[in-house]
Structure 1
Amino acid sequence: MAASLFLLFALPLIPILNAPAFAQEDFDSEAPSLLTADEVTYDESLGLVVARGNVEISQRQRVLKADTISYNVRTRIVTASGNISLTEPNGDVVFAEYVQLTDDLAEGFIQGVSALLVDDSRLAAARGYRQGDRQMTFERGVFSPCELCRDDPTRAPLWQIKAAEITHDQVEKTIEYRDARMEIFGVPVAYTPYFEHPDPTVERKQGFLSPTYISSDVIGYGLRIPYYWPIGLDKNFTLTPLITTDRGIILAGNYEQIFESGVFSLEASATYGERDLGNTVKDNEFRGHLFSYGKFALNQNWRTDFQVEVSTDDTYLRVYEFDDHTPLESRGTVEYFEGRRYGYLNSFFFDGQRSNDDDDEAPIILPEIGYSFVSEPLEGNRFLEDSVFRVNSDFLAITRLEGQDIRRVAFEGEWNKPYLHSSGSVFTLKGALLATAYAYSGSDPNSDAVVPGPGVTTDSGTTGRLFPAAAVEWRYPLVSNQGWINQTVEPIVQFVAAPEADFLSGNDIPNEDSRDVEFDDSNLFSLNRFPGVDRVSGGTRVDYGFRWTGQSDVYGYGEFLIGQSYRFTDDNSFSQPTGLAEDLSDIVGRMSVYPDPTFGASYRFRLDKDNFEGRRHDLDVTVGPPAYRVSMGYLLSAEETTPGNSIIREEELQLGFDSRLNKFWYFSANWIKDLNSNETRSISLGLLYRDECCDLRITAEREFYQDREIEPGDTIFVEVFFKHLGGVQGGS
Structure 2
Amino acid sequence: MASAVAFGLVFLPGLALGQSTMPLPELDSDTPALLSADEVTYDESLGVATARGNVEISQGDRVLKADAISYNMRNDVVTASGNITLIEPSGELIFAEYIELTSDLKEGFIRDVRALLTDRSRLAAASGVRQGDRETTFRKAVFSPCELCRDDPTRAPLWQVKAAEVTHDQEERVIQYRDAWLEMFGVPILYTPYLEHPDPTVDRKSGFLAPRYHHSDAMGHGIEVPYFFTIGPDKDLTLAPIFTTEQGLLMTAEYRQIMTSGEFSVSGSATLDDMTRNGKVDKNQFRGHFFAEGEFSITPNYRASFDIKQSADDTYLREFDFTNDRTLTSRGTVEYFEGRDYGSLNAFLFDGQRAQDDDEEAPIVLPELQYSFIGEPDERGAFFSIDAGMLNILREEGQDSRRLSLHGQWEMPYAGEMGDLYRIKAALSGDLYWGNDVDKVGEDVTPGPGVNTQDGFAGRLFPQVAVEWRYPWVSYQEDFAQTLEPIIQVVASPEGFNDGDIPNEDSRDVEFDDSNLFSLNRFPGDDRVSSGSRVDYALRWTAESPDFGWGEVFFGQSFRFLGGSDFEAGSGLEDDLSDFVGRVAFEPDPTFRTRYRFRLDKDSLKGRRHDFSASIGPPAYTFTTQYTLATLDDTGSGPEDSEEIRLGFSTQINEFWSAGVTYLRDLDEDETRSYGGQIRYHDECFDLRLRAEREFFNDRDLKPSDTILFEVVFKHLGGVSS
Match of 1:716 in 2: 708
Return the letter of the residue paired with 1:249. Answer: L
Matched position secondary structure for 2:299: coil
Partner of residue 683, structure 2: 691
The aligned runs of 1:370-381 (5 Å cut-off) are 370-379=370-379
Counterpart of 2:256, as a letter, is E
Change over 3 Å in CA distance of 1:130–1:562 after alignment to 2: same
SS of the residue corresponding to residue 677 of structure 2 reads strand
Q: Which of 429, 432, 451 is equivalent to 2:446?
A: 451
Residues 172 and 118 of structure 1: CA distance in aligned 2, closer, same or farther (over 3 Å): farther
Higher alpha-carbon deviation: 332-341 or 255-264: 255-264
Shift, 1:671, TM fit: 0.5
Residue type of the partner of 2:531?
Answer: G
SS in 1 for 2:155: coil
- Match of residue 485 from structure 1: 480
Tell me, what secondary structure is at the counterpart of 2:664?
strand
2:658 aligned to which of 646, 661, 666: 666
Q: Is the 8 A contact 2:6 2:105 kept in 1?
A: no
Partner of 1:108: 108
Distance 1:604 1:117 in 2: 53
Shift in CA distance, 678/720, structure 1 to aligned 2, threshold 3 Å: same
One-letter amino acid of the counterpart of residue 420, structure 2: S
Distance 2:382 2:24 in 1: 68
Contact 1:14 1:57 in 2 (8 A): no
Query: In structure 2, what residue type is equivalent to 1:20?
Result: A
SS in 1 for 2:16: coil
In structure 2, relative to structure 1, the CA distance for the partners of 1:11 and 1:401 (3 Å cut) is: closer
Deviation at 1:234, TM superposition (A): 2.5
1:602 paired residue number: 595
Q: Does 1:14 align with 2:14?
A: no
What is the deviation of 1:565? 0.8
Q: Is the 1:21–1:169 contact (alpha carbons within 8 Å) kept by the matching residues of 2?
A: no
Contact 1:10/1:71 (8 A) holds in 2: no
Give the equivalent residue in structure 1 for 2:649: 657
Aligned counterparts of 1:555 and 1:336: Cα–Cα separation in 2: 47
Q: Deviations over 1:122-178 (max 9, x none)?
A: 111112212221222111111111111122122111111111111122333332111
User: Hey, what does 2:697 align to over in structure 1?
Assistant: 705
- Residues 564 and 176 (structure 1 numbering): CA distance in 2 closer, same or farther, change over 3 Å? same
Q: Using the aligned pairs only, state the percent identity.
A: 55
Counterparts in 2 of 1:24 and 1:202: CA distance versus 1, 3 Å: closer
Q: Secondary structure at the match of 2:153?
A: coil
Counterpart residue number, 1:397: 392
Give the Å deviation of 1:51: 0.8
User: 1:498-522: per-residue Cα shift (whole Å, max 9, x none)?
Assistant: 11123xx644221111111011111
The structural deviation recorded for 1:645 is 4.4
Inter-partner Cα distance in structure 2 for 1:498 and 1:458: 28
**Contact 2:570–2:638 at 8 Å: present in 1 too?**
no
Normalised by the length of structure 2, the TM-score is: 0.96
The whole-number CA distance in structure 2 between the counterparts of 1:63 and 1:278 is 77
Partner of 2:343: 343
Match of 1:407 in 2: 402
Alignment-derived partner of residue 525 in structure 1: 518
Moved more, 238-247 or 223-232: 223-232
Give the equivalent residue in structure 2 for 1:224: 224
Q: 1:465, 1:506 within 8 Å by CA — same for their partners in 2? A: no
SS of the residue aligned with 2:562? coil
How many Å separate the matches in 1 of 2:264 and 2:446?
Answer: 37
How many Å apart are 1:8 and its aligned residue? 5.6
- C-alpha displacement at 1:438, in angstroms? 1.0
Shift of residue 570, structure 1, vs aligned partner: 4.2
- Equivalent residue, structure 2, for 1:581: 574
Is contact 1:12-1:104 (8 Å) kept?
no
Residue correspondence of structure 1 range 55-454 to structure 2 within 5 A: 55-379=55-379, 385-453=380-448
User: Structure 2: how far apart are the matches of 1:675 and 1:36?
Assistant: 80
Please point out which of 453, 468, 474 is paired with 1:473.
Answer: 468
Find the aligned partners of 2:87 and 2:519 in 1 and give their Cα distance.
Answer: 65
Paired residues of 2:568 and 2:638 also in contact (CA < 8 A): no
- CA positional deviation for 1:10: 4.8
Alpha carbons 2:643, 2:666 under 8 Å: kept:
yes
* CA 1:569–1:283: 2 relative to 1, 3 Å: same
- Tell me the matched-pair count: 716
Q: Match for residue 3 of structure 1?
A: none
Q: Following the alignment from structure 1 to structure 2, what is the Cα–Cα distance between the partners of residues 264 and 691?
A: 34
- Residue 675 of structure 2 aligns with an amino acid whose one-letter code is I
Q: Distance in 2 between matches of 1:273 and 1:52?
A: 77
Where do 5+ consecutive residues of structure 2 fail to align? none
One-letter code of the match for 1:340? R
Structure 1: runs of 5 or more not aligned: 1-5, 380-384
Question: 1:20 is paired with a residue of what secondary structure?
Answer: helix
Aligned to 2:607: 614
Question: Partners in 2 of 1:511 and 1:254 — Cα distance?
Answer: 40
Sort the Cα spacing of 1:499 and 1:575 in 2 relative to 1 into closer, same or farther, 3 A: same
Determine helix, strand or coil for the equivalent of 1:21: helix
Amino acid at match of 1:676: D
**What amino acid sits opposite 1:663 in the alignment?**
E
Query: How many Å separate the matches in 2 of 1:596 and 1:356?
Result: 45
- Structure 1 stretch 512-521 or stretch 420-429: which is displaced more? 420-429
Per-residue displacement from partner, 1:367-403 (whole Å, max 9, x unpaired)? 1111111111123xxxxx3212111111111101011
TM-score scaled to structure 1, two decimals? Answer: 0.94
1:549 & 1:105 partners in 2: Cα distance?
73
- Alignment check: 8 A CA contact 2:341 2:371 kept: yes
1:592 matches 2:585: yes
Whether the 8 Å CA contact 1:218–1:709 is kept in 2: the answer is: no
Task: State whether residues 13 and 78 of structure 1, in contact with CA within 8 Å, keep that contact through their aligned partners in structure 2.
Answer: no
Query: In the alignment, is the contact (CA less than 8 A) between 2:565 and 2:576 conserved in 1?
Result: no
Report the Cα offset of residue 457 of structure 1: 5.0
Counterpart among 515, 521, 529 of residue 508 in structure 2: 515
For the residue of structure 2 that corresponds to 1:386, the secondary structure is coil
C-alpha spacing 1:218/1:207, structure 2 compared with 1 (3 Å) = same
CA positional deviation for 1:551: 3.6
Aligned partner letter, 1:387: A
Conserved 8 A contact 2:5-2:64: no
The whole-number CA distance in structure 1 between the counterparts of 2:600 and 2:568 is 16
Shift of 1:532: 1.2
Give how far 1:596 is off.
1.6
CA deviations on 1:701-722 (whole Å, 9 max, x unpaired) are 0100122232102221101111
SS at structure 2 position matched to 1:648: coil
**One-letter amino acid of the counterpart of residue 429, structure 2:** L
What SS does the aligned partner of 2:408 have?
strand
